[in-house]
Structure 1
Amino acid sequence: MIILGGKANIVDGVIEFHGGWAGRFFATRPRRFCFGAITIGHTILGTCQNTLAVLRRHEHVHVRQYEQWGLFFLPAYGLSSLWEICHGRDGYRQNYFERQAYAVEDRLD
C-alpha cells in the first residue's frame, strides 16, 4: 500500500496501512464489496486513517482470532459466512467471527 501512495503505522503490535490509491479503490467499490478495513494476520488494511480509528477495536479482535485459529481462520470465516447464507441469514453480520468482533466492540463502548 505504501508504493500505491498509502501510509503505514504500527499500533499495539499491528501494522496498519491506509489511504493512497488502494484505500480509495476499496472505499468506492459497490456496497457489497466495499469495506472500511480488513484484517489479514497482524496487518490491517484501511481505506483511511479516520476509518481505522473508528474500526480499530473491531479489527484487533480479528487479529486475535487469527492468532487463535492460525491458517484455519480464513477457511473457517468463509465457511461461517456460507453456513449463514445457506440458512437465509446475513453472511457478514451473522458470521461467527463478526459477531465476536461486534460483541467486543459493543462491550467497550
Structure 2
Amino acid sequence: MRLLVYLWSLPNTLLAITIGLLLMGRFQLVDGVVEIHGRRVAAVLRRLPVPASAMTLGHAVFGQTLDTLQITRRHERVHVRQYERWGPFFVPAYVLISLILYARGRDGYRENPFEIEAYAVDDPSQRV
C-alpha cells in the first residue's frame, strides 16, 4: 500500500526533485520524505506570492534552512499525507480553494482547509 501512495504523488515529488537540483539544493531523506534546502531554495521560498519557510510537493519538502525543516516538519508532513490522498489533484484543489477564498474577500492561505489541517498539528511556540 505504501508503494501506491508514493506512486500516486510521484509526479509532484519528481517536480520537486527537479526544482531542487536546478536550485542546487542540499538533499536529505527523513522518514521517507526528501527534504531540500539551500541558499537558492530559501531565496525562492521568500519570493513566493505567500512567502514560505517551507513548502511541500509530493514526498519532498523545501525549507529555507535545516533548522526550518526541523521546525516545520510536523506541519509539512500533514501536507505530505494530503498529497498521498489527493495525488496530482492536490495542487489544483489547493489553488482553486485559495482563489475562491480570495474572491470572497477571505484569506486564501490561512483559511484554506489544507492549511487549517496542517496548522492544527503545529506547536504554537515553534511557528515561523
Residue 28 (structure 2) pairs with residue 9 (structure 1): yes
For the structure 1 residues 76 and 24, does the alpha-carbon distance in structure 2 shift closer, same or farther, using more than 3 Å as the test? closer
Residue 70 (structure 2) pairs with residue 46 (structure 1): no
Identity of aligned residues (%): 49
- CA shift, 1:23, in A, is 2.4
**Structure 1: runs of 5+ lacking an equivalent:** none
Residue 118 (structure 2) pairs with residue 85 (structure 1): no
Which residue in the other structure is 1:65 paired with? 82
Report how many aligned residue pairs link the two structures: 106
For the structure 1 residues 28 and 82, does the alpha-carbon distance in structure 2 shift closer, same or farther, using more than 3 Å as the test? closer
TM-score, with length taken from structure 1: 0.84
TM-score, with length taken from structure 2: 0.73
- Higher RCO, Cα 8 Å, sep 6+: 2
Q: CA RMSD of the aligned region, Å?
A: 2.1
The code of the aligned residue for 1:18 comes to H
